[in-house]
Amino acid sequence: MKSVICPYCGFGCRLYVDPDTLRVFPDKHSPVNRGKVCPKGLRATGFIMHPDRLKRPLKAVNNKFTPISWSQAIEEIAHKLLEIRELYGADAVAFMASSKCSNEENYLLQKIARLFGTNNIDNCARLCHESSVHALKMTLGMGIQTNPYEDLERFNVILIWGYNPAETHPVIMQYILNAKRRGAKIILVDVRETTSSQWADYFLKIKPGTDIVLANAFAHVIIRDELYDEEFVEKMTKGFNEVKMAVKKYTPKYAEKIIGVSSKLIEKAAREFALAGSGAIMWGMGVTQKVSGVDNVLALINLALLMGYIGEKGGLYPMRGQNNVQGAAYMGALSEYLPGYIELTNMEFRQRLAKLWDVRGIPTERGLYLTEFFDGVESGEIKALYIMGENPAVSDANFKKVRNALKKLELLVVQDIFPTKTAKYAHYILPAAAFCEKDGSYMNSERRIQWSHKVCEPPGEAKPDWEILTMLGKALGLPGFDYKSVEEITAEYFKLFPELEERDVEELKESIEGIIIPKKRLYTWSFTTPDGKAHFRAVEQISPWETPDEEYPLILVTMRVISHYNTSEMTLRSPYLVKLMSEPMAEINEKDAQKLGIKNGDMIIIETRRGKLKMKAKISNVKEGVVAVPFHFKVNEITSDALNKAGTPEFKFSACRIYKT
């Protein structure tokens, strides 16, 4: 039996896989999943033997993909990249890293980008929690989850906002329910009733786009009734008075009119949160994927700072969606940060990096966000795109625009395990190894680095992503790409972080616990801001980019479901998971359905200003006026691509209309 890290959500479950049968068993000794596993994890290897697996490098010739050798593929790709750099400059090339690939592989791709001469390196963290990263860095100093999962069990209140843990990270429910059994109160805020809301002591079903109104109403009650931690606020924070003034108008009565939740429930929930003595705030993409996303997170952080729910007394949990989205970002696969979320202009770290890479310097200007890549293609700024393990032709908002841009590239390289929708537009397709066909490390949402072991061989000529990138780095003439093993890459990135400098790679490989960096529990004594204090940020309600009107009277939001993952390339090729949900359904409110003459199972059209989709209707308990659709399929063809301050699209609010076919 070989131990691996589950390839699905960012919770980081450790599994055992039988090399002969590929059967999966949960690791009973894992400090993360503690012997539990969700339906996706239980069938984690279900897609491995699928006949669609890519087995040989392919080149597009006369609108057909023709097999070629690895040497030819790498030589031609490198030649074209160098030619484009010569003609247009290094910033004419962009690289898309992968939240499904290992730390080592993401580290290598951002190294290639920066040594090539550009900071146009990004990953799908931009589409989910980059709003959280920006808000957390602004207020606390680091853009990461503050506490380990285990702390959830000892806090007295858990505020869950825009997040459905029972389907998004099912195994974390054991922590939440353990806390509830001990007496902790669960407060849940969402636009629809979910599996998770069944466990809530307080459930606030709000109108989409009104998060700041409710958060500020909570703050209003806490400040008005003098329930905040005065000593913590005075000694450990700055900006309290600005927040105090900003939330004055957000009375529960005022909030009730906007969010559609009774003022009495707002009062009760706010007081429960404040009087608990310790607490966690957990949130997901229902908070971040809005034009107000950064400010939404700031409003939640304000609540934690009012109560001193930080360090030992509480924690902030931006729950990551993909298995290594935290690792990809931490390894530097972000256009505005170097590894460790270090600013591009940090001279001390830049010198450390240049010395490690044996180069004189690296670019200092922020690269394009992933969500800016395709506008860059349209404008002629981007000529080539190298994509490792991502599928923007499905995952990005308003993906028609993305697909049109992909057609205009002089060079598109797609490195993946399946012929994705994005790969259809590629000039070269490179076959990669799946998670259990290679060794490497991964970082989960709580910043725990764990080793995943190779179980079986990849099909045909497919190679681990790190081997492909090593070949590419050499072909591009970049220094330091003589890696003979993945462990050499691990040892190299260990040298970047003080917490890992003295650690041994073999120790990580043998460890059940893994390694949490920079430390297990942040902000127990001070903050990593320049002045050592946490900074309140007063925020006001920000309206969605689109608003419902007579033509488009409803609000389209996207959601996760337990049986599918990301763009479904893996789960739709796993027979067991397909049985759980073979096709998406649009959830609509019973009153909306009655008005439109729609019954359960009817085929409907969902239409926004960007297009229309056909889908079956499911009558559910979503907020009246809301249409909720799983994002794992085609819905992003019609979602809004308006961006917030962090470059994240407003997936969670698109004006729409629906009607029967």
Evaluate if residue 36 carries a pLDDT over 80. Answer: yes
Give CA–CA dist 109/190, Å, rounded. Answer: 37
pLDDT category, 567, cuts 50, 70, 90? confident
CB distance 334 to 371 below 8 Å: no
| φ/ψ of residue 323, rounded to 5 | -60, -30
- pLDDT of amino acid 564: 87
CATH topology of domain 146-319: Dimethylsulfoxide Reductase; domain 2 (3.40.228)
Give CA–CA dist 140/557, Å, rounded. Answer: 30
Residue the block writes with tokens 């001990």: 182
Preceding omega of 26 cis (within 30 degrees of 0): no
Residue the block writes with tokens 């460890």: 511
- pLDDT of amino acid 518: 95
pLDDT > 90 fraction of the chain, expressed in percent and rounded: 95
Q: Regarding beta strands 314-318 and 279-283, do their DSSP bridges make them parallel or antiparallel, or are they unpaired?
A: parallel
Give CA–CA dist 408/405, Å, rounded. Answer: 5
Evaluate if residue 490 carries a pLDDT over 90. Answer: yes
Residue 359, Cβ density class (10 Å: 0-12 exposed, 13-18 middle, ≥19 buried): middle
What average pLDDT does the segment 39-44 reach?
95
Residue 102, Cβ density class (10 Å: 0-12 exposed, 13-18 middle, ≥19 buried): buried
Evaluate if residue 565 carries a pLDDT over 90. Answer: no
- pLDDT of amino acid 563: 85
Lowest mean pLDDT among 363-372, 422-431, 437-446, 578-587: 578-587
Residues 6+ apart with CB under 8 A from 149: 11, 32, 172, 175, 446
Contacts 24+ apart (CB under 8 A), 502-508: 508/441, 508/449, 508/450, 508/451
- pLDDT of amino acid 512: 94
CB distance 131 to 296 below 8 Å: yes
Question: Comparing C-alpha atoms, which of 462, 467, 435, 464 is closest to residue 451?
Answer: 435
CB distance 414 to 423 below 8 Å: yes
Question: Comparing C-alpha atoms, which of 484, 491, 489, 496 is closest to residue 506?
Answer: 491
Average pLDDT value over all residues in the chain: 96
DSSP string, 32-100: TTTT---HHHHTTTTTTT-TT---S-EEEETTEEEE--HHHHHHHHHHHHHHHHHHH-GGGEEEE--TT
Neighbouring C-alpha atoms within 13 Å toward the C-beta of 163: 26
The CATH 2.40.40.20 portion of the chain extends over 554-660
Evaluate if residue 191 carries a pLDDT over 90. Answer: yes
- pLDDT of amino acid 158: 98
Give CA–CA dist 515/507, Å, rounded. Answer: 10
Phi-psi region of 45 (alpha: psi -120 to 50; beta: other; left: phi over 0): alpha
Alpha carbon of residue 587 to chain centroid: 23
| φ/ψ of residue 87, rounded to 5 | -80, -40
- pLDDT of amino acid 178: 98
- pLDDT of amino acid 532: 97
What average pLDDT does the segment 319-343 reach?
96
Evaluate if residue 316 carries a pLDDT over 90. Answer: yes
Give CA–CA dist 577/369, Å, rounded. Answer: 33
pLDDT category, 579, cuts 50, 70, 90? confident
Give CA–CA dist 90/210, Å, rounded. Answer: 42
pLDDT > 70 fraction of the chain, expressed in percent and rounded: 100
Give CA–CA dist 607/629, Å, rounded. Answer: 12
What average pLDDT does the segment 370-383 reach?
97
Neighbouring C-alpha atoms within 13 Å toward the C-beta of 87: 14
Question: How many other β-carbons are positioned within 10 Å of the β-carbon of residue 366?
Answer: 15
pLDDT in tens, 382-410: 999 999 999 999 999 999 999 999 999 99
- pLDDT of amino acid 530: 95
Residues 6+ apart with CB under 8 A from 287: 131, 132, 161, 162, 163, 211, 293, 296, 297, 300
Orientation angle between helical segments 293-307 and 130-139, nearest 10 degrees:
40
Residue 140, helix vs strand vs coil? coil
- pLDDT of amino acid 216: 98
Q: 615 forms bridges with which residues in the sheet?
A: 604
- pLDDT of amino acid 566: 83
The CATH 3.40.228.10 portion of the chain extends over 146-319
Residue 283, helix vs strand vs coil? strand
CB distance 429 to 57 below 8 Å: yes
Q: Regarding beta strands 585-589 and 515-516, do their DSSP bridges make them parallel or antiparallel, or are they unpaired?
A: unpaired
DSSP string, 502-530: T--HHHHHH-SS-EESS-SS--SS--SST
CB distance 327 to 102 below 8 Å: yes
- pLDDT of amino acid 568: 86
Domain 56-125+323-516, architecture per CATH: 3-Layer(aba) Sandwich (3.40)
Task: Identify the DSSP state of 360.
Answer: S
CB distance 472 to 74 below 8 Å: yes
pLDDT category, 258, cuts 50, 70, 90? very high
DSSP string, 617-637: EEEE-BPTTEEEEETTSSGGG
Q: 452 forms bridges with which residues in the sheet?
A: 440
What average pLDDT does the segment 191-205 reach?
96
Question: Comparing C-alpha atoms, which of 624, 591, 587 is closest to residue 604?
Answer: 587
Give CA–CA dist 402/394, Å, rounded. Answer: 9
pLDDT category, 167, cuts 50, 70, 90? very high
Residue 631 structure tokens: 């994002």
Q: Mind spelling out the 3-state secondary structure of 440-491?
A: EEEECCCCEEEEECCCCCCCCCCECHHHHHHHHHHHCCCCCCCCCCHHHHHH
What average pLDDT does the segment 638-644 reach?
95
Question: Comparing C-alpha atoms, which of 649, 646, 647, 648 is closest to residue 134?
Answer: 646
Give, for 604, the enclosing helix (H) or strand (E): strand 603-608
What average pLDDT does the segment 200-214 reach?
97
- pLDDT of amino acid 634: 87
554-660: in CATH 1.10.40.30: no
CB distance 465 to 107 below 8 Å: no
Residues 6+ apart with CB under 8 A from 339: 107, 110, 330, 331, 332, 353, 493, 496, 497
Evaluate if residue 581 carries a pLDDT over 90. Answer: no
Dihedral (CA of 343, 526, 324, 399) sign: negative
Evaluate if residue 582 carries a pLDDT over 80. Answer: no
- pLDDT of amino acid 390: 96
Give CA–CA dist 368/405, Å, rounded. Answer: 15
